[in-house]
Each structure stands twice: as structure tokens, then as C-alpha cells.
Structure 1
Amino acid sequence: MTTRKATMIDIAAASGVSKSTVSLVLQGSPTVKAETRERVLATAERLGYVYNRGAARLRSARSNIVGMVINDLANPFFAELAVGIERVLQTAGFVPFLANTAENPRRQADVLKSMREHDIAGLIVCPARGTRAADLEPLVGRVPLLLAMRRVPGLRISTVVPDNHRGARHATEHLIALGHRRIAFIGGHSDMTAQVERAGGFRAALETAGLRLDPTLVIEGPTTRETGANAIDRLLERADPPTAALCFNDVVAFGAMDRLSRRGLTVGRDMAIVGFDDVREAAHVRPPLTTVAVDTQALGERAAHAVLRMIHGDGRIEEAVGEVDLVVRESCGTHRAAAAARGTTGID
């Protein structure tokens, strides 16, 4: 008599889980809890189940490539994000396919077309500035797709973003608490959702403190060092320059700090500077940069796990907002304020 071979349905019944969970465990998915994975594997071994990976690949007819479309790899923030994504994908047995669009929607369109031709299993996209919902809609429902760091208005798909509004508000409140009343916001464009959110947090803090927003102190521009440097030149030409500036990101802040130094001014004394992201360089510039910390690699890992769940059949739309925290260093002049309170002066 022929003995019937155990099936995934048998394992699911004996383990008290669904067939899809058994499938995820056997494929080595990192999305299953360790306790559940061990129980399923032990049951499979007890029932004598043999997983045919070759046949499974043929049945799925799916590649193991996940596209990572990054808008600006020259920015260390996005490089750190890519590291977090890559770590999870490689652990799960997927091959990351990385491309940099340099904030160019046309380049992004070419990259997405190329990736689809490679029959990718999923996509993580950090949208280039100017990306419209219509640019990505043809992918929705055809490939597991997640947006990282930026939302695209009118497109309802899974996203992983930092809490931009809260971070900028907290940073501005800190500057106000230090006594600053004329605060600039430097960098980003109003057609970028991240800029809208960060500038919104900046404005909310001013309003709560009863401070009038001077629209001429909001200076838009690419998220580059040049934008920070040029903004400082413009601000210092004013009869009433600001005493502090919140920058869209750390890269813009680095440019602002460099220009202040070149003009013979001291960051933290003559003007307070705060960034956003907390890239590794932020702690090592002189003076060290006060900035809103985003756990970039953790957000990358979170994005990768979400895409893996979609690849394995989870159709839920996830909207994950990562926590942020203000890291106070010397560039905002906090240490100088404390020294003044002690009756001393100068920067340590």
C-alpha cells in the first residue's frame, strides 16, 4: 500500500496555523514569528514533509529580485536607508536591484520600466521630486509596491515615512525655548510632501508660541549644501537677519554651517542651526549638528519587511510613520545659553 505524502495542509492543521503561514515558513520568510516558525518546522519534520524548492519556484514563476529606486544616493540619509532595506532582503534570500534617479522623474520612469522587464518580485520607491500619482498607478496591483520617505498625493499604497511634522515642530520649539524669535526655514520645495510636512511643523510651533511667520524667512531650494550656503548669504543681507534656522535636512544644514564659518561667524553663537535626519556626519562636523534623528536603517528594514509581506500575499495597505527625536548638540547654541546662565561666556 502506498503511504500518502504529508502536505502543507497537513502541517497547517497539526501546527494550528494557516497554509499560507506554513508556506512562508518553508520559504524562509522573516515575517513569521520565531516561535511559530519553530513549531511549523518541527511539525513538518515529524510528518516527514519534504519541501521541493525547485517545484515551488516553478509554481510561483516569480523572480527573487526586489527593486530599490532611490531618489538621491548622494545624500547619506538615503544611502543609510538603502543599507537597511538591503540587509533584510538579503537575509530573506532576495536580491536587491538598486538604482539612483537623482531626483529626475524621467530617469525614474526609465528605471521602473527596466525593472519591470526584469520581472521583479517587488518595488520600494523613494519618489523623485515631481512624481505624480499617474506615474506610478500602472504599477499598482501588478507588482508589490511601497513608497519610502515621501508620499505621492492621490496614490493610496503602502508607505514608510518619518514623522516629519512632529520632528520639525519639536526642533522649532527648542529654538524658541532658547530665546530665538526670528527663525528661518531653509531647503526643500513646496511640491515635496516631506517639505510640506516639515515646514508645517515649523509653522505650527511658531503659531503656538504666538510668533508671526515671516514668509521671506522660508527659503526653498534643492536639498543640497549649495542651498544652505546660498540661503545664508541671502539671510545675512537683510537688515534684520534671523538668529536661527531650521534646515530641511542635514545636508542643507552642513552648507549653511560652512557658509557661516567662511563669513567669519560662529555657528551656535552668531546663528543657531538645526538639521533633520541625523546622518552619521552630523555628530562629527564642527560644531556638532543639532538635528532631528530619524532611525534611517530601521525605516529601511521596516520598508523591506512590508514589501516581503506583500510578495507573500498580504494585500493590506500599510501606512507606517517612524518615530523621531531631537538630538541636541552644539550648533544650536544650547551649551552657550547654559554658560551664560552660569555667568561665563564663550563656546566650549
Structure 2
Amino acid sequence: MNARETPATASRITMIDIARHAGVSKSTVSLVLQASPLVKAETRDKVNAAIEALGYVYNRGAANLRGSRSNIVGMVINDLANPFFAELAVGIERVFHAAGYIPFIANTIENAKRQSEVLRSMSEHDIAGLIICPARGTRPADIEALAQLGVPTVLAMRRLAGPKFSSVTPDNLRGARRATEHLIALGHRRIAFFGGYSDMIAQNDRCGGYQAALSAAGITFDRALVIEGPPNRDCGLNAIGHVLDMAEPPTAALCFNDVVAFGVLSGLERRGLAAGRDFALVGFDDVAEARHTNPPLTTVHVDTGALGERAAHQVLRMIHGDTRPEEFVSDVDLVVRASCGATSRRQP
């Protein structure tokens, strides 16, 4: 205890006092007291110095009582502007609501730094469990830190390299391969792939399925036809403009997701072209909007709501003590509509 403090005055010192003295937030002080690996060494030293200077005494027994798990579960979504993730969140919320848990949702807008801040905040509020759609650039260590704090965590839609985490994902490779095979069967040989980045496992899987289909058909893979970019409308708009200006442009494209495909539809329209007539287009996800575009979008159907429900059930199972990691991969279908120039139907 600091020589200037008596037991009575030390007991009145709070985490707020420590935070002010160290120039950090109260939540950061809480993480330091819990020995959380989420705190940088330099910050931890500042907080510990403030604790020493003020003579703060940490009542760990009381803290443990306060720290019993709440009925709040975290939902960290990387892009709520994408209707796919909004549909996923609805499925997650449906299960948690029925189980008596309160979802606390955050949108990281594909920003790993913002995601770290959100995860830190959620861990400080003693959430009962967490479902996270990892932002691009997420490090496995970020998720491991939560596991070390005892937070049941499930990855949704995007896997991470390294340690085994519980996860729910669609069969990205099979879906992309089936979509590309469909375009090949329609007679296309110059087929592009739009969207996503090569450092994303989901993009690797979908682009890998696309390449596997080309290889099986004896079509030489052309790296120039893979246009990387953020999985949004602007990417699709820019990608179609780029490839149509090539000396030998493609006649078809598979997109990383439906939102990229929506951008392609806009780009084609600006050039006086139409999907299904002048260019064959396929998306991935089958969000509700896909059936209402002009023309309706051919796409790989993912049962988004069911995946969200599966992720929530995984978290509940872990909350109740079954912590074995489970990697669930859902089946997908190809929904054929007008944008690819073929008759509408669903193919397994």
C-alpha cells in the first residue's frame, strides 16, 4: 500500500480514479486487473503504476461475483450494409431471443482496428458468448484472447487460419465450382471472377472453386480475369468496366457475392448492355434482393437464416459446457435465373 494511503482511503479508491491517473478508460483498468492479454504492455505498466501510486486494493472475490456471465451475447458483424449479413443477424437473434438472451450487435465495417475495440468493450461487459463475422485482417490471436477469457466464441461465414475455432460457413468451394461449371455448360470460355481479396479465406475458397471448374474443363486460367476488390457494389461496377475494355473481354463472370454482382448489373446498364443477353452473370449468397433485380440474378443460394441459427445454437451449447470446437459447413444450391442467359431453375 502507498505510504500516503490508509486502508480506509485505499478502499475508497475506485477504478475510475485509477483510469484518470493513468490516462486510460475504466474498461482498460478492468482488463488489466483481469490480466487480459488484450492490453498492450505499455498500457498495462501505466495502469499498474497508477494502482501502486494510489494504493488501490483489488477485491478479486467481489469482482468474481460481479463478473458472473450475463444474459448478453455479442454479435460482431463485419458489414451490416451487405443484406446478407443483415439476414444472418436475424437468424442469430431469433435463437438467442427464444433462449432468453439479449443480443448486443456491432458493425465493424470491415475495419480490424474497430473490431478490436468492439471485442475489448464486449469482453469488459462480461458477455455470455460471442458470434463474430471476422473483418478482413483479423488475427487468430484476437479470437484466442477471448477464448482465454472464457468467452464462448463462434466464427460465422469466415474461417481463420491457425487454431481450430468453432465456425459456421457455406460450402464456398463447391458453390463457386458449381456456378462456374454452369457458365461453362452454357458455352462460355472467357469467365471472370470479381471481388474479394486473396488474403480472405472465403475468397480463396470461392476463387479456388472457380479455378477448379476451369481446370476440369481444360480452360486455361487467366489471372488477368480475377479482379480483386472490396466485396461491394463499387467493386463490381469498376471490375466490369475494366474487363470490357480488354482486347479480349470475358463473356461471363462469377462474383464473390451478390452485392458485387449488383454493381456489375449497374455497370452493364451504363454501357447499354444487359446481363443474360450480352453478358452472363452469377452472384453468390442469394440475398432477398437477388430475385428482384433486372434481370433477376442467378446466384449460389446460401441458407443464411439457418446458418445464423446454427451459429447461435453452437454458442448456447458452449455456454452450457460443451466447448468442443465444431466446424459446420452448410450445403449450397445454384439458383438459375435470367442474368446468366439460361432458363430459371434450381440445381443442387
Please classify the TM superposition score into its range, dividing by the shorter chain length: 0.7 to 0.9
* Match in the other structure for 1:156: 164
Matched, 1:227 2:244: no
Of the three residues 113, 117, 124, the one matched with 2:120 is 113
2:218 aligned with 1:240:
no
Structure 1 residue 298 displacement after superposition: 0.3
The Cα of 1:303 is off from its aligned counterpart by: 0.2
Deviation, structure 1 residue 61 = 2.7
Alignment of 1:12-51 (within 5 A): none
1:304 aligns with 2:312: yes
Which runs of structure 2 are paired with 1:63-212 in the superposition (5 Å)? 63-141=70-148, 142-212=150-220
C-alpha displacement at 1:133, in angstroms? 1.1
2 CA distance for matches of 1:159 and 1:128?
Answer: 15
How do 1:234-313 residues align onto structure 2 when only pairs under 5 Å count? 234-313=242-321
Partner residue, 2:55? none
Cα shift at 1:335: 3.7
- How far apart, in 1, do the equivalents of 2:243 and 2:184 lie? 19
Instruction: Tell me by how many angstroms 1:59 deviates.
Output: 11
Q: After superposition, give the CA deviation of every residue in 1:233-285 in whole Å (9 maximum; x if it has no partner).
A: 10011111000000000000000011101110111111101000000000000
CA distance in 2, matches of 1:321, 1:136: 20
Q: Offset of 1:155 from its aligned partner?
A: 2.8
Q: Deviations over 1:58-111 (max 9, x none)?
A: 899320011000000000000000000000000000000000000000000000
- 3-state SS of the aligned residue for 2:169? strand
- The gaps in structure 2 that reach 5 residues or longer are 1-64
CA distance in 1: counterparts of 2:331 and 2:282, whole angstroms: 18
How many Å separate the matches in 2 of 1:318 and 1:59?
Answer: 30
Q: Distance in 2 between matches of 1:76 and 1:155?
A: 30
Letter in 2 for 1:313: G
Say what the alpha-carbon RMSD is for the aligned residues.
Answer: 1.3
- The one-letter amino acid of 1:180's match is H
Q: How many residues are paired up? A: 279
Distance 1:271 1:233 in 2: 12
Give the percent of matched residue pairs that are identical in Structure 1 and Structure 2. 70
Q: Is the 8 A contact 2:336 2:343 kept in 1?
A: no
**Partners of 2:143 and 2:66 in 1: CA distance:** 28
Q: Tell me if structure 1 keeps the 8 A contact 2:68–2:126.
A: no
CA distance in 2, matches of 1:335, 1:295: 22
Q: Which moved more, 1:83-92 or 1:139-148?
A: 139-148
**Helix, strand or coil at the partner of 2:299:** strand
CA distance in 2: counterparts of 1:277 and 1:315, whole angstroms: 29
Give structure 1 regions of 4+ aligned residues with deviation exceeding 4 angstroms: none
1:30-50 alpha-carbon deviations (Å, 9 max, x no partner): xxxxxxxxxxxxxxxxxxxxx
- Contact 2:67–2:126 (CA under 8 A) maintained in structure 1: no
Equivalent residue number for residue 49 of structure 1: none
Q: CA deviation at 1:136?
A: 1.7
Task: Please state how far the C-alpha of 1:157 moved relative to its aligned partner.
Answer: 1.2
Amino acid at match of 2:282: V
Q: 1:160–1:179: structure 2 CA closer, same or farther, 3 Å change rule?
A: same
Structure 1 range deviating more: 59-68 or 304-313: 59-68
The whole-number CA distance in structure 2 between the counterparts of 1:332 and 1:266 is: 10
Aligned to 1:314: 322
SS state of the match for residue 199, structure 1?
helix
Q: What is the CA distance between 1:288 and its match in structure 2?
A: 0.1
